[in-house]
Amino acid sequence: MKRPRISARRTAVAGSAAAVLAVTALALPTAHAAPSQARLSAADVASARATLKTEASIPGTAWSVDPRTNKVTVTADSTVRGAKLARLNKVVAGLGDKATLRRTAGQFRPLIAGGDAIWGSGVRCSLGFNVSKGGQPYFLTAGHCGNASATWSDTQGGSEIGQTETSVFPGHDYALVRYTSNIDHPSAVDLYNGSLQNISRAGEATVGEQVQRSGSTTGVHGGQVTGLNATVNYAEGTVEGLIDTTVCAEPGDSGGPLFDGDTALGLTSGGSGDCSGGGETFFQPVPAALQAVGAQLP
């Protein structure tokens, strides 16, 4: 019997356990003056990022760039406090107009949980985008998912549909899974309303762009891109080059697709918050993942 097709989707799990804390952006006073509106040079931004990487790679922090102004926004989650927060304040203050600091009440973590969608060895994630490599079918998901399991099924305890071939996390956050069963694999994203969004190309996200994310825990949610080339210091390690957004996500949504119409933009990495109170989520850019693994959209 022909197996059901699998796109970037799975039935949402009612009452999913292990949702992360809601996120609320709070202004954090710092010792330096308010940043000017002048656009900083690329050298200024590179210098600020290098300083942050050297002096402030603290678990629970993240930073991203708005290329319209070249300003760096640094975020600290609820775990950054005491001496670590004082250290971060001092580093950001020393950067002057190059950076601003804000707080989030949640906790940055990779969004992974046992549950539904694509099932691994004791973990649940979401399929990102169906791709091809060497004429053979594959799919992309998050690297922290690929690290967790060598094989995948589309049902809990079901037969294998794919094997992890490449997985990168931390540093970046992508995995390439090779299909090992005869299952339909359309280049499409489930919109959780009975229809699919066809995906025809991969593109780079832009700040201010309105985007959508699909995931096995929470279905489809939208938001806005707020920063690019983001660095997130998870407890498991640092990930760089991410897309920063206001889109919410929850555990189990990891690996799922970020898209704008028919354009593939990113793979869900992690963040803070939930889809009841709102959140901040980071995504691995798809073009970079495709290039790294030598794959392309079908």
Strands 162-168 and 174-179: antiparallel
Catalytic residue numbers, as ranges: 144, 173, 254
H-helix or E-strand spanning residue 214 = strand 210-215
- With residues binned 3-state (H G I as helix, E B as strand, rest as coil), the percentages for the chain, rounded to 5, are 15, 40, 45
Token pair for 229: 């080339």
Distance (Å, whole) CA 77 – CA 62: 9
Cβ-count burial 65-82 (b if 16+ within 10 Å, e if not): bbeeebbbbbbbbebbee
Q: Is 198 exposed, middle or buried (0-12, 13-18, 19+ CB in 10 A)?
A: exposed
3-state secondary structure of 227: strand
CB 97 within 8 A of CB 35: yes
Residue ranges in 10-127 assigned as alpha helix (H): 42-55, 83-94
| Peptide bond preceding 4 in cis form (omega within 30 of 0) | no
Distance (Å, whole) CA 256 – CA 271: 13
Bridge partners (DSSP) listed for residue 104: 25
Q: How many CB atoms lie within 10 A of CB 204?
A: 14
